[in-house]
Amino acid sequence: MTSEASLPPEWFSKRFESCRDILPAIQYKPMGSLQNPARKRKISPVWEFFDQISSNKVKCMLCSKELVYNNNISSMLRHYRDLHENKERNEATRKQELDEALVTMIVKDTQPFNVVEDVGFRDFVHKLDPTYVLPTRQAVKAMVEAKYAESKEKAKAEVKKVAAVSLTSDMWTSINMDAYLAVTCHFVDNNTCLNSVLLGVVQFPQAHTGENVTYVKASLMEEWGITNNVTCLVTDGAANMIACGRELRLRHTICTAHTLNLIVKKALDQTPVLSDIQAKARRLVAYFRSSTTAKVTDRGVVWMTV
Ligand SMILES: [Zn+2]
């Protein structure tokens, strides 16, 4: 029987090579490289935070602390994990949480993006957490837009799941005389809960014709993927809305609350005694609204200055 000791040296090198061929996943490192710190830096990511200042000392680049180095990175790893890793992670998480809370506040309270530039608000935030750096107005705008896109995709996925939806829609003019058209979608989900999703509030500078209203509503329905799932459209009784319902070939219902309101208005107009009282009340309200020297106090007492 042949013993290994009696085999020629070439046999060992040949056998070693064949092992490497069989196990390619095991990386072969020549012994010489383990003694070379330059080589080690490439192996461990912890070297990104340390500098070797002598043969047996390293310096942390984050806090300048010097550690003894004996060709072993365990003390460096421990130092980084204990003092820096968690701190960095916690700070990043807190910053993200506060940014998200800021976006939620702006959306819920309809605050302008430049609220982050208001001196009082900045001081208030600094008092709460001096380490938090408020994002810029532009960054807040981008965050709100990203949040909107994310929420819209979620809502779209919910709306697409259901077989049938109803729409309500209305138009109005803002205090700046800009016209808007809004469409809201309503549906019952799998848990038999009624849900409402605002499909869009579209600025409407074009003529308020039935054709234009139809075009905008059809675009929104297509965008949300519900063109073939709308079972009913509810609007006021305006001529353009009625024309729109006809054009879209939907079951169209006039809003009951709106109709009731019209009935009451018409009834008041046709009752002379009531319309006289109404006219007096209007004049009274107009007087107190236009006068800076007269007002009604919280106890209902008329108060005037001369
Ligand atoms: Zn350090």
| CA 58 to ligand 1 centroid distance, Å | 11
Query: Which of 106, 125, 150 corresponds to the end of one domain?
Result: 150
Residue 141 lies in a domain: yes
Can you say whether residue 110 is alpha, beta or left, with left for phi > 0 and alpha for psi between -120 and 50 degrees? left
Q: Per-residue pLDDT for 159 more than 80?
A: yes
Residue 80 Cα to ligand 1 midpoint, Å, equals 6
Task: Return phi, psi of residue 244, to 5°.
Answer: -65, -45
Residues found in the chain: 306
How far apart are the CA of 70 and the centre of ligand 1, in A?
Answer: 18
Distance 50 CA to ligand 1 centre (A): 8
**Same-domain pairing of 176 and 122:** no
> Cα(302)–Cα(60) distance, rounded to whole angstroms?
75
pLDDT of residue 32: 37
Burial 93-115 (b: 16+ CB within 10 A, else e): eeeeebbeebbeebeeeeeebeb
Residues 124 and 191 in one domain: no
Helix (H) / strand (E) containing 228: none
Task: Name the 3-class secondary structure at 197.
Answer: strand
Q: Are residues 140 and 194 in the same domain?
A: no
What amino acid is encoded at 98 in this protein? L
Q: Give 227's contacts (C-beta < 8 A, 6+ positions apart).
A: 218, 221
Residue 48 has what DSSP assignment?
G
Q: Provide the CATH number for the domain around residue 216.
A: 3.30.420
What residue numbers bound the domain in which 293 lies? Answer: 271-304
For the stretch 86-130, pLDDT in tens is: 777 777 888 999 999 999 999 999 999 999 999 999 999 999 998
Find the 79 Cα to ligand 1 centroid distance in Å.
Answer: 6
Is 24 inside a domain boundary? no
Examine the domain organization and report whether 196 and 246 are in the same domain: yes
End-to-end alpha carbon distance in the chain? 128
Residue 57 lies in a domain: no
Considering the domain boundaries, does residue 59 fall inside one? no
Closest to 50 measured CA to CA, from 38, 59, 41, 63: 59
* pLDDT mean over 18-23: 36
C-alpha of residue 88 to centroid of ligand 1, in Å: 12
Of 17-31, 48-62, 178-192, which gets the smallest average pLDDT?
Answer: 17-31
Question: What domain count does the chain have?
Answer: 3
In a domain, 229, yes or no: yes
Give the model's confidence band at 299: pLDDT under 50 very low, under 70 low, under 90 confident, else very high: low
What separation in Å is there between the alpha carbon of 133 and the centre of ligand 1? 23
Ligand 1 center–CA 44 separation, angstroms: 16
Would you state the pLDDT for residue 233?
Answer: 96
Beta strand pairing call for 252-254 and 230-235: parallel
247 shares a domain with 295: no
Q: Using the mean position of ligand 1's atoms as its centre, give its distance from the Cα of residue 286 in Å.
A: 71
Distance of CA 34 from the midpoint of ligand 1 (Å): 25
Q: Is residue 146 part of a domain?
A: yes
Mean pLDDT, rounded, for 13-31: 36
Mean per-residue pLDDT over the chain, rounded: 83
Distance 257 CA to ligand 1 centre (A): 68
Same domain, 216 and 292: no
In a domain, 108, yes or no: yes
Cα 47 to ligand 1 centroid, rounded to whole Å: 12
| 3-class DSSP assignment, residue 110 | coil
**pLDDT of 200 higher than 90:** yes
Model confidence pLDDT, tens digit, residues 39-89: 555 578 889 889 999 989 999 998 899 999 988 899 999 998 888 887 777
Cα of 60 vs centre of ligand 1, distance in Å, is 5
